[in-house]
Amino acid sequence: MSVRVGVFGATGYTGQELVRLLAAHPHVEVAFATGSAEGYLAHEKGLERAADAYLLALPHGISARYAAQLGEQRPQAVVIDLSGDLRLKEPGAYQRWYGQEHPAPQLLARAVYGLTEVYRPWLHGARLISNPGCYATSVLLPLVPLLAERLVDASDIVVDAKSGATGAGRTLREDLLFCEMAGDFSAYAPGRVHRHVGEMEAVLRERSGQEPALTFCPHLLPVKRGILSALYLRTPHAAAHLAGALRTYYAGSPFVRVVDGKPPRLSDVERTNDCLMSVHEAAPGRVVIFSTLDNLVKGAAGQAVQNLNLALGLPETAGLPLSAGAALTQGVS
């Protein structure tokens, strides 16, 4: 017996990945998948279609309106919003980071933040889930346990993050043309400008009870998919101690793993739902943590499916790609 799932925004990179994952999911049937090319008329039609769960891969500002309408028309259905609309809980924060009034503020208190491994208890049976940002996922998974246990200094966090170009979506922008990107590399939104800063600091504040100060510089890599974030942290502890704390925290979470030796690379997590991290000594009193994931999978569509599984009472790993590493090491002697 399959769960019927509808996808809004199925023609973007995230939407395509969603459809790809759901089509191979053993307990799911794709009820409909509506593209956005035709404007949003097609979506409006989708609103009338019955499904057990709706995944919204729509632009922010539009997505929450759909979530609100689905909440009224299909109160029993699971709704997962992959846009940024429901990530910030504080009144005023959306206006500050997104530069517009919130389209459905009444949903903010209800939406569960879908950083699966951190908010798992609240995700079981949830009906409205806000899927985290891709950068935020790569940064929060290592930071939340370390700040919550006060193992690193919350007041001095430096994150240098790099993302493949699908993170920017299928947008007709000159800087995203092949001839502009191939062979090039650049930083953008340096310091505290990127929208995910608000999202990250809010979660860190909520989980640790401390006021974090984050320097966050994203970069655009000439690759299609993958995020690698380097976190420079001040701590009195050894790298091995922090690695141990992370391993303990994620002991029951198959997709989040701490590796030893060489830092993990994009290809280690490509097309998987994994987030891999490693901890290294830096200057005295400093460590560096590398955290990597596939922005379209654990950073978007994969984590949405993981959350869908929890919301529906399915196994957490159902329909999620086997890690390449796991596949390879399974039988190789």
Query: Would you please indicate which residues are annotated as catalytic (active-site) residues?
Result: 134
Q: SS3 sequence, 115-153?
A: CHHHHHHHHCCCCEEECCCHHHHHHHHHHHHHHHCCCCC
Tell me how far apart the alpha carbons of residues 263 and 257 are, in angstroms, rounded to a whole number. 12
Nearer CB in complex with a second copy: 106/155: 155
Q: What is the largest CA-CA distance in the chain?
A: 60
Nearer CB in complex with a second copy: 107/304: 304
Tell me how far apart the alpha carbons of residues 43 and 223 are, in angstroms, rounded to a whole number. 31
| Long-range contact pairs involving 244-252 (C-beta distance under 8 Å, separation at least 24) | 245/145, 245/146, 245/149, 245/151, 246/142, 246/145, 246/146, 246/277, 246/279, 249/145, 250/117, 250/141, 250/145
- Phi-psi label, residue 13: left if phi above 0, alpha if psi -120 to 50, beta otherwise: alpha
Q: Give me the least distance between CB of 162 and a second copy, in Å please.
A: 6
Q: Give me the least distance between CB of 222 and a second copy, in Å please.
A: 6
Q: Give me the least distance between CB of 81 and a second copy, in Å please.
A: 20
Nearer CB in complex with a second copy: 31/242: 31
CA atoms within 13 A on the CB side of 91: 2
Q: Give me the least distance between CB of 198 and a second copy, in Å please.
A: 14
- First-to-last CA distance in the chain? 39
CB 53 within 8 Å of CB 34:
no
- Nearest residue to 54 (alpha-carbon basis) of 38, 33, 40, 85: 33
Phi, psi angle pair for 315, to nearest 5°:
-60, 140
Nearer CB in complex with a second copy: 130/235: 235
Q: Give me the least distance between CB of 292 and a second copy, in Å please.
A: 8
Q: Coil, strand, or helix at residue 290? A: strand
Q: Coil, strand, or helix at residue 32? A: strand
CB 23 within 8 Å of CB 33:
no
Nearer CB in complex with a second copy: 103/226: 226
Q: Give me the least distance between CB of 121 and a second copy, in Å please.
A: 31
